[in-house]
Amino acid sequence: MAVSEANNGRGELRILENLDELRTDLADYIAELSEAAVKERGAFAIALSGGSLIDLMGKLCEAPYNKTVDWAKWHIFWADERVVAKNHSDSNYKLAKDGLLSKVPIVPGHVHSINDSVSAEEAADDYMFVIRQLVKTRMVNVADISDCPKFDLILLGMGPDGHIASLFPNHSALDETDEWVTFIIDSPKPPPERITFTLLVINSASNVAMVVTGESKAEAVHLAVDNIGPDCPSLPARLVHPTEGKLVWFLDKQAASKLDGLQFSD
């Protein structure tokens, strides 16, 4: 693995030889953050996304993690969710349940999925209310300089267009600076209706991990991480910049292949 700090404050870059190494490194990283948060405040508030992420987290269901992680202290949220029924094949909740949550001893009451029986707008409001209650009890930590939730870890994938969660390039949801959760009804990636954490919440987290693999993402990784001059596009992934937290990129060689000045030692 090559680990380096992007020289422009764009976070730590962890570039893994292959998907197996990435899966192990990601599981170690999540397990370490979980242990630290449980030690410090008795709970671990983690937000998941959809896509390939859940499969890449798969090692957590295996030894030693399945036994060593303090699953009872985990509180699960979604950085974004598709507004479909929980048993629909498009549901990020279903993806996480089938691939992770059903395989480890998570407390069912700690799984904070969205209300799937209302409109996207109502689901976003409802989710914000749920998070607000958990911030009050400090199940979810609070930012030092605002009343914003400070998740212990937000895990994000990235599309080839540089979208993160359900924040897409040139979409007005990117400009939402008041609400913690917003909704969209015109997602370019199906299904169209989604709710998503805003940049406000993403950038208030203690830790944000961008988990990105495959050659189709290489250009977007370059645009999100490298110094690309004044024509810098407003790529959603480039706007991830935790103000009081730490950003780590988990990349395979393919996704990292267009980064400036990268040298792989074979």
Rounded CA-CA distance 144/148 in Å is 9
**Comparison of 33 and 167: residue with beta carbon closer to ligand 6PG:** 167
Q: Does 50 bind ligand 6PG (CB under 6 A)?
A: yes
- Stretch binding ligand 6PG (CB under 6 A), from 48-56, 130-138, 202-210, 221-229: 48-56
Q: Which residue carries 């209706």 as its tokens?
A: 193
- Decide whether 149 or 157 has the Cβ nearer to ligand 6PG: 157
Task: State both tokens at 102.
Answer: 């059903």
Residue 175 zone, left/alpha/beta (φ > 0; ψ -120 to 50; rest): alpha
Q: Lay out the site mask for ligand 6PG across 159-188 (x = CB under 6 A, - = otherwise).
A: x---xxx-----------------------
Near ligand 6PG by CB under 6 A: residue from 21, 24, 51, 169: 51
Contact call for residues 190 and 88 (beta carbons, < 8 A): no
If the CB atoms of residues 84 and 148 are measured against ligand 6PG, the closer one turns out to be 84
236 binds ligand 6PG (CB under 6 A): no
Q: Report the Cα 67 to chain-centroid distance in Å.
A: 24
Q: What is the CA radius of gyration of the chain?
A: 17
To ligand 6PG, the closest distance from the beta carbon of 19 in angstroms equals 12
Comparing every residue's Cβ against ligand 6PG, the nearest one is: 51
Strands 207-212 and 149-150: unpaired
User: What's the rounded Cα separation, in Å, for the pair 37 and 22?
Assistant: 22
Binding residues (CB under 6 A) for ligand 6PG: these are 49-53, 80, 82, 92, 157-159, 163-165, 189
